[in-house]
Amino acid sequence: MSAHQRGTELDLSWISKVQVNQPAVLRRAEQIQARRPVKKEWQVAWLLKAVTFIDLTTLSGDDTSSNIQRLCYKAKYPIREDLLKALNMHGKGITTAAVCVYPARVCDAVRALKAAGCDIPVASVATGFPAGQTHLKTRLEEIRLAVEDGATEIDVVINRTLVLTGQWEALYDEIRQFRKACGEAHLKTILATGELGSLTNVYKASMIAMMAGSDFIKTSTGKETVNATFPVAIVMLRAIRDFFWKTGNKIGFKPAGGIRSAKDSLAWLSLIKEELGDEWLKPELFRIGASTLLADIERQIYHHVTGRYAAYHDLPMS
């Protein structure tokens, strides 16, 4: 990832009059979802590209050093070698974009990736993930400790209360402090859009997060009742586009939560391509937060290569 963005001064005039046209957003979302997916060789090429955008994630209470080790191995070797050879894609360095873990597991991930001899970044969630309802001092310390342990990307959660009560300056100040605590690490700001009440709030929170210095804005923790949806994504992507037009700064986008099928991943790539263009289709500006998506992508590639669907034992754990 390139150098992180420093943000801008808080300018509430940007967002004070914003009203999102919900029916228009919903129509656009339906349009995207109704598209026919690409087929055969084209589909495989897009699926391999999708792999390189995945933040391969495990955020479970029962995470141990051994399943973190397996996760990191899978991040380095996401698709079985013989399948890549059949597609003439072996040796092309296809890995996932990052691994994403809880702060207490960062050391395990850094150690496992070092042992595997690869430089895939380690992302850590922080700031009282997933609810963000802990003291600010604790949330900032959590970021600093994760960075000390070797995380180079930090996925923070915002305090949703500040959005719901319209405390935009307080939200800006908190994210500014997160940015500072990250040091040289990249800041991905999770808006938890399913808990923000309206699409207008999603747009405003996106803008504030970008002004405050976020390198990425991310839809969800994956723990809310409603996670990554197309209407929310369209609003966030339009905010990214507006911010780029106003400042010249390109901010990344990360949908997370509920993206489980290869078909889903193709729809997300298509959405980014249409809303922001090809220049956003790279891991520096687009990620997909997922834990089970990779298994389905590998299954589809296996089917394309062999002509049959994989049995459970045919593909290694992911």
pLDDT (0 to 100) of residue 317: 61
Q: How many CB atoms lie within 10 A of CB 6?
A: 9
pLDDT (0 to 100) of residue 2: 59
Q: Which residues pair with 253 in a beta bridge?
A: 217, 286
Q: Which of 74, 188, 204, 218 is catalytic?
A: 218
pLDDT (0 to 100) of residue 230: 96
Joined tokens for residue 1: 């990832």
pLDDT (0 to 100) of residue 57: 97
Characterise 177 by phi-psi region: left (phi > 0), alpha (psi -120 to 50), beta (else): alpha
Catalytic status, residue 254 = yes
Joined tokens for residue 220: 């969800």
Run means of pLDDT, 10 residues per run, the chain, 318 residues: 80 92 95 78 92 97 95 96 94 95 98 95 97 96 98 98 97 98 97 96 98 98 92 98 96 96 94 96 97 94 91 71
Q: What are phi and psi of 17, to 5 degrees?
A: -100, 5
pLDDT (0 to 100) of residue 314: 78
pLDDT (0 to 100) of residue 77: 95
pLDDT (0 to 100) of residue 238: 97
pLDDT (0 to 100) of residue 86: 95
Residue among 227, 124, 224, 105 nearest 182 (CA): 124
**Residue 17: helix, strand or coil by DSSP?**
coil
Strands, E, within the chain: which ranges? Answer: 54-57, 98-101, 122-126, 153-157, 186-190, 216-218, 252-254, 288-290
pLDDT (0 to 100) of residue 176: 98
Q: Where are the domains of the chain?
A: 19-314
Fold of 19-314: TIM Barrel (3.20.20)
- Contact between 27 and 71 under an 8 Å Cβ cutoff? The reply is no
What number of CA atoms fall less than 13 Å from residue 231's CA on the CB side? 17
pTM of the model: 0.96
pLDDT (0 to 100) of residue 40: 72
pLDDT (0 to 100) of residue 299: 95
**Distance, CA of 56 to CA of 21 (rounded, Å):** 34
Strands, E, within 103-174: which ranges? Answer: 122-126, 153-157
pLDDT (0 to 100) of residue 311: 79
Q: Which of 254, 263, 273, 282 is catalytic?
A: 254
pLDDT (0 to 100) of residue 1: 61
Q: Which residues pair with 127 in a beta bridge?
A: none
Catalytic status, residue 74 = no
The CA radius of gyration of the chain, in Å to the nearest whole number, is: 19
Burial of 116 (0-12, 13-18, 19+ CB in 10 A): middle
pLDDT (0 to 100) of residue 127: 95
